Structures are given as structure tokens and as C-alpha cells.
Structure 1
């Protein structure tokens, strides 16, 4: 039993190291750099030894995507839960701050799920990280649902219909937010575009010369967003 426990611990440690090296290779060389042979070389292992942990490169990438999405979902869900009972403006700003904080702490992970795709990668049936990705998606829709009573005026006369949105997305969010009309989904995407765009500029280094304080810029942009939505 002691030997079994030791083997399991060593396997877990090696698996974690493989994933860490893969993200580090991506950070330095882009998505093309994630190969099992390159990881084996960095770790001083043989390629055959790596295959004992991940049968294919795509298996490794799928695991990484799942880990990354889960970390992001935990961060934003935690911020939302911590602000329960407070007004919508506070909750949206808390969710946004958690998203940015996670992205800055895990830039390689952000690039993996929101940047350039890994060349040749084929996700398994059902997609990579379906549960964690769903949590992020429904969290964003939750922001729209909280803001909708105030932001509905922005979509007066809207021509949005359910057919304008992906059926898979609707399957995830409509049961959770049955009161939200099609334009409410558009609002969720609007909020997402605003937050994602600003964070992407920072993660990819495009704000380093333009903004002295990216943190202040993000906070003020988020405040302006909630004001635009009609929140206090």
C-alpha cells in the first residue's frame, strides 16, 4: 500500500509538471510549441515516457483547457457568491475584477482558451471543458440578468430573436434565466466583449506603453460600463 501511494503521488507530481511545462512552452513559443517531444526534452524524459501520462498531444491540450477553464470559473463564481445580496453594479464589478485578476495571474491559460488556437488540435466529442466553460458562460448571462431591469431600455425595439444565437448556448442559459429575452443574451455578449477586449489588450502587452496604470483604466472602464447599463 505504501508503494502504491508513493507511485500515485509521483505520477500526480509528474502530470502536474508536464502541464506546467506545456504552458511555459506556449508562453515562450506560442501554441505551436506544445508538443510531447518538446515537453519530454525539457523534462529530461523520453518521448515514450511522456506517452505513459498522455497518449496524444490533444489529450494533454484537452486536460489543460479543462484545468484552465475550471480555474477561471472558480475565480469568477467565487467573486459572484461573495457579493450575494449586494446591488448589481457591485456584483458585476466584482466579477469583472476577478476575471482580470485571474487572467493576469495565468496569462498562458488565458492565451490557451481565448487566444490563438493550438494548430491541429481536435477537441473530443462535446468539446473541451464543457462543464467549466458552461459555468463561465452562465456566469456572464447572470451578469446580464442582474442588469436587465435597468438596461432593458437600451434594447427597446430590438429585433433580436432566439434564432440569432447558437442553439448550444441557449440550451445552457435559457433554463437558468427563463425571464431573459433574446436581447438579454445580446447584453451578456456585450458585457463580455467589453471586459474581454480590455483584458486581452493588457495580457498581450498592448497597454504597456499607452496606459501608466492599466488597473485604474480597467476599474474606470468597468464603472463606465455599469453606468451605461443604468446601474448606480
Structure 2
């Protein structure tokens, strides 16, 4: 059981992150600063540094938290579909990403859109681990579809050298039978999922489509059909 001091510290840390996300939503990433958050909370700048030593430390924590919340949601949606239904699991994953993004546009922009000026992500750490978890999840979806998709999706020669070394290391450890073309396919799948979501979140899709949810669902159905599922 946590002590009273630990509970108070966790509460204050949560409030700091909530204010940072509000500033992000209201004024964009450049509005997020420890001094601005301290003013909002009625704290001194020195006091807030006891929770986060730098703004970049806070941004890294926010990115990790946002990724984790997104992945918890999409993995639950995926796992609600039987493992022997790879098409259903891909569609469930994609739909869950869109539902989350529409409900949390500021968080979506933080991890997939607007860069934070001057932010330097630390090597390793929770944010990188969360991003790797997302990539691994997509590769898992691809691995299940690969027996059907291979003949339809292998175009030209693809080598492991085309991808990030750290990602390749994890993919080859988790899915030793997959060729590099399958990793390429996973990234292309993500591009199709992400593209329409980004257009909608940034307001470029709604004027053209009166039913963006239906448009996105149709795109997911076309995606799985293109895989031979």
C-alpha cells in the first residue's frame, strides 16, 4: 500500500500531465512548458521540477502514457476476435485506432502529428518501448495474414537492411519465420490505417465525406481483401 506522500505525489504528477495535455489541445505543442503548468497549478517553478526535471522528461512521459492507453485499447479490440480470424483482427485493430484518435485528437497529434519544438527523445525508455510494442502488434497481425498475403503482396526485392536495426532485431526474434517483405507489408498496412485517420483528425476529410466512419470501414475491408483474406 502506498504511503500518503506517495499518493499525493502520484496525484500531483497526474494533474501535471492532465494540464500538459490540455495546453497541447488548446494551443499546440509549443504551449507545453513546466513554467506554464506551474502557474496553472499555483506552484513555483522550482516545485514542479521536483516532479519532472525538464520539459522533455514530461513530454517523454506523456508520449509513453498516450501510446500505452492507445495500445491497451487496440490490443483488447484485437483479442476480442478469435485468433483464427486474421481479417477480423486487422479490421478490429484499425477501427479501434480510429475510435481512439477521434476521441483523443490532441493525444493523436502528440504521437503521430505535430512535433514538439526542440524535443529530443532519449534513447530507449518507455516511449520507445511503447512505440516498439505498437510495431510488434502490427507485425503480429501481418504474420497471421502472411500465408494468404504473400503471393499478392510481394513486389520486388526487400531486404532487412531497409529497416531500423532495432526493429528488425525484435521482429526476427518474435517472428523468426517472417521474411523482410512481411515487415514492409506491416508498415504499409499502418500507412493505410493512419492516412484517413490523420486526414480526419486534422479536419481535411469531413468537408468531403459526410460519413468518415463508413469511409474508413470500407478502407479496412479493402485492406483485408487485398491480403487475400
Same fold at TM > 0.5: yes
Superposition CA RMSD, Å: 1.7
Structure 2 equivalent of residue 20 of structure 1: 18
- Rounded to whole Å, the distance in 1 between the matches of 2:145 and 2:198 is 24
- Displacement after TM superposition at 1:95 (Å): 0.8
Contact 2:152 2:228 in 1 (8 A): no
- Displacement after TM superposition at 1:127 (Å): 5.1
Decide whether aligned partners of structure 1 residues 97 and 6 sit closer, same or farther in structure 2, where only a CA change above 3 A counts: same
- Rounded to whole Å, the distance in 2 between the matches of 1:106 and 1:149 is 35
- Rounded to whole Å, the distance in 1 between the matches of 2:95 and 2:159 is 31
Q: Which moved more, 1:41-50 or 1:66-75?
A: 41-50
TM-score, scaled to structure 2:
0.93
Contact 2:153 2:227 in 1 (8 A): no
- Displacement after TM superposition at 1:157 (Å): 5.6
- For residues 81-101 of structure 1, what are the alpha-carbon distances to aligned partners after superposition, in whole Å with 9 as ceiling and x for unaligned? 221334111110011111112
Of the candidates 60, 65, 68, which is equivalent to residue 66 of structure 2?
A: 68
- Rounded to whole Å, the distance in 1 between the matches of 2:3 and 2:124 is 33
- Displacement after TM superposition at 1:128 (Å): 5.0
Q: Which moved more, 1:220-229 or 1:43-52?
A: 43-52
- For residues 122-155 of structure 1, what are the alpha-carbon distances to aligned partners after superposition, in whole Å with 9 as ceiling and x for unaligned? 2223255232222111011112112211111224
Unaligned runs of 5+ in 1: none
Decide whether aligned partners of structure 1 residues 221 and 19 sit closer, same or farther in structure 2, where only a CA change above 3 A counts: same
Equivalence map 1:1-232=2 (5 Å): 5-126=3-124, 128-156=126-154, 158-231=156-229
Q: Secondary structure at the match of 2:122?
A: coil
Q: Which moved more, 1:138-147 or 1:6-15?
A: 6-15
Decide whether aligned partners of structure 1 residues 53 and 127 sit closer, same or farther in structure 2, where only a CA change above 3 A counts: closer
Q: Secondary structure at the match of 1:85?
A: coil
- For residues 12-60 of structure 1, what are the alpha-carbon distances to aligned partners after superposition, in whole Å with 9 as ceiling and x for unaligned? 1111111011111111211111111111122222212211211111111
Q: Secondary structure at the match of 2:209?
A: coil
- Rounded to whole Å, the distance in 2 between the matches of 1:67 and 1:57 is 15
- Displacement after TM superposition at 1:218 (Å): 0.9
Decide whether aligned partners of structure 1 residues 157 and 70 sit closer, same or farther in structure 2, where only a CA change above 3 A counts: closer
Decide whether aligned partners of structure 1 residues 143 and 62 sit closer, same or farther in structure 2, where only a CA change above 3 A counts: same
Q: Which moved more, 1:131-140 or 1:189-198?
A: 131-140
- Rounded to whole Å, the distance in 2 between the matches of 1:23 and 1:39 is 10
How many residue pairs are counted as aligned between the two chains?
Answer: 229
